[in-house]
């Protein structure tokens, strides 16, 4: 059975306990995280930039970033493994080294890297969950920032340190910050999945609340 089928079953199976909680953040996720502290590094990058993030099922990660002003494209895909194993069925086994990830293309003159990371840690997922998010379990659902350059790595690590010092979460942040070796777009049926399937149970109970939270807490970013 495909994972779309599995996720449909999961969505139906957990509707009852989730109805009352669907629009509330997970207990381990802070209400709204502090703004990233200014750093004394190089000037912000100019021109269109890309950032690859993994935070559980890529449907929801993509859905959140598609609603942020300054983001020109969000593409679901795979990162962390090799091109030869970058397909849905193999990645779903959890044995390829890949994580479900999203490549975010953005204009830093409209939205900063720091702001994208603030949303990542507060809205997109719970960064204290190891190798899982919600009903999805396995290393392919791990929390990770795949940096493309030293500046991205520095900013990401600095913000994780800031959140740790502020005790923003009850449990330790487990997000990996690792060099991007390759990003491989997922199959076409995974792209824009939330937008094309708004009534899918998984989207309704796991991903739509993330978009709603983005709208509520980051109204200045929402589009």
b/e per residue 125-140 (b: at least 16 CB within 10 A): bbbbbeebbbbbeebb
57 is catalytic: yes
DSSP 107: -
Please, what is the end-to-end C-alpha distance for the chain in angstroms?
36
Long-range contacts of 164-167 (CB under 8 A, 24+ apart): 166/34
Q: Is 102 left (phi over 0), alpha (psi -120 to 50) or beta?
A: beta
Query: Catalytic residue among 51, 57, 111, 163, which?
Result: 57
Which residue numbers are catalytic?
A: 57
């Amino acid at each position: 059975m495909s994972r779309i089928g599995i996720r449909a079953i999961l969505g139906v199976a957990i509707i009852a306990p989730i109805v009352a909680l669907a629009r509330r953040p997970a207990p381990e996720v802070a209400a709204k995280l502090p703004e990233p502290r200014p750093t004394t590094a190089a000037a912000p990058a100019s021109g269109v930039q890309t950032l690859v993030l993994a935070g559980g099922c890529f449907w929801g990660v993509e859905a959140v970033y598609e609603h942020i002003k300054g983001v020109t494209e969000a593409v679901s895909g795979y990162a962390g493994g090799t091109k030869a194993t970058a397909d849905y069925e193999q990645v779903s086994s959890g044995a390829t080294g890949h994580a479900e990830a999203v490549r975010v293309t953005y204009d830093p003159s409209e939205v900063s890297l720091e702001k994208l990371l603030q949303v990542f840690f507060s809205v997109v997922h719970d960064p204290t969950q190891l190798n899982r998010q919600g009903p999805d379990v396995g290393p392919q659902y791990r929390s990770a920032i795949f940096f493309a350059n030293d500046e991205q790595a520095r900013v990401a690590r600095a913000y994780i340190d800031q959140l740790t010092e502020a005790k923003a979460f009850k449990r330790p942040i487990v997000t990996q910050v690792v060099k991007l070796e390759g990003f491989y777009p997922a199959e076409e049926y995974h792209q824009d999945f939330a937008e094309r399937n708004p009534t899918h149970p998984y989207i309704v109970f796991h991903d739509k609340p993330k978009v709603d939270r983005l709208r509520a807490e980051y109204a200045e970013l929402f589009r």
